[in-house]
């Protein structure tokens, strides 16, 4: 049921072109298959960015240029991205009080552009999973929360890639219309999501709490 994430990434990479003549149309098509990653009942970054790019295409384009500048620190880029869209929302009088371009949305855009380096992020997902897995690094809100999340992802990924049975099952579900996930970053996020959604809370007396998992 989560295969749409791999489909969405492949679709984005097929259509993304920062130099497109019609940047607004390109952005809209690139994000066309993001489903609930950028839209839910009370969460609307995809709809809002579509409104914003129609009103201020050059400002939106520059925001993505800066977000994708890998020479700059990750947290600074995410923080600036959020501030830029708040400014666009305030100064260009976009309909709606909330730009919805938050840390979660910024990490979707980063993960779609650089899936070999970044992970799809959601605070609540990581908070639940880190508690169930007894990780030392806990979820934090805001852009700074990306660092413990990606650290945990790297730790978990290093374990997942040693499980040949899991990798075989994973690659069998990736069809021709899916991003093939060579670094298994999307698989790692999918594992964390599954822990958060489906793993019951373990009894504390079954866990050695004196030796919690250390992240590298």
Query: pLDDT tens for residues 121-134?
Result: 999 999 999 999 98
16-68 pLDDT per residue, tens = 999 999 999 999 999 999 999 999 888 999 999 999 999 999 999 999 999 99
How far apart, in Å, are the Cα atoms of 136 and each of 46, 149, 169, 209, 215? 33, 11, 30, 11, 7
| Of 45, 6, 5, 3, residue with least CA distance to 28 | 45
Q: What is the C-alpha separation between 210 and 58, in angstroms, rounded? A: 53
67-116 pLDDT per residue, tens = 999 999 999 999 999 999 999 888 866 666 688 999 999 999 999 999 99
Task: Spell out the residues 6+ positions from residue 58 whose beta carbon is closer than 8 angstroms to its own.
Answer: none
What is the helix (H) or strand (E) element at residue 171, kind and residue range? helix 164-172
- pLDDT band at residue 119 using 50, 70 and 90 as cut-offs: very high
Average pLDDT over residues 173-191: 96
CA angle 190, 199, 157 (to 5 degrees): 35
Q: What is the C-alpha separation between 213 and 142, in angstroms, rounded? A: 24
pLDDT greater than 70 at residue 210: no
pLDDT greater than 60 at residue 214: no
- pLDDT band at residue 5 using 50, 70 and 90 as cut-offs: very high
- pLDDT band at residue 216 using 50, 70 and 90 as cut-offs: very low
Task: Spell out the residues 6+ positions from residue 73 whose beta carbon is closer than 8 angstroms to its own.
Answer: none
- Residues facing 213 on adjacent strands: 135
CB 151 within 8 A of CB 137: yes
Q: What is the pLDDT of residue 91?
A: 81
| Percent of the chain scoring above 90 in pLDDT | 81
| Of 195, 177, 206, residue with least CA distance to 124 | 195
| pTM passes above 0.85 | yes
The DSSP result for 8-51, as a single string, is HHHHHHHH--TT-SSHHHHHHHHTTT-GGGS-BTTB-HHHHHHH
Q: What is the C-alpha separation between 25 and 200, in angstroms, rounded? A: 43
């Amino acid at each position: 049921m989560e295969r749409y994430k791999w489909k969405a990434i492949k679709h984005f990479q097929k259509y993304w072109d920062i130099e497109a003549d019609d940047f607004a149309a390109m952005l809209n098509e690139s994000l066309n298959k993001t489903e609930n990653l950028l839209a839910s009942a009370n969460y609307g970054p995809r709809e809002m960015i579509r409104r914003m790019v129609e009103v201020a295409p050059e400002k939106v384009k520059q925001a993505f240029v800066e977000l994708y500048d890998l020479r700059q620190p990750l947290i600074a880029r995410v923080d600036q991205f959020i501030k830029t869209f708040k400014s666009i929302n305030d100064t260009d009088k976009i309909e709606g009080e909330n730009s919805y371009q938050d840390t979660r949305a910024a990490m979707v855009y980063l993960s779609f552009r650089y899936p070999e380096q970044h992970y799809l992020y959601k605070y609540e997902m990581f908070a639940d999973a880190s508690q169930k897995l007894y990780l030392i690094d806990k979820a934090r809100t805001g852009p700074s929360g990306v660092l413990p999340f990606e650290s945990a992802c790297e730790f978990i990924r290093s374990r997942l890639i040693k499980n040949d049975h899991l990798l075989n099952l994973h690659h069998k579900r990736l069809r021709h219309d899916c991003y093939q996930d060579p670094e298994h970053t999307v698989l790692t996020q999918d594992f964390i999501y599954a822990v958060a959604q489906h793993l019951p809370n373990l009894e504390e007396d079954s866990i050695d709490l004196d030796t919690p998992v250390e992240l590298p």
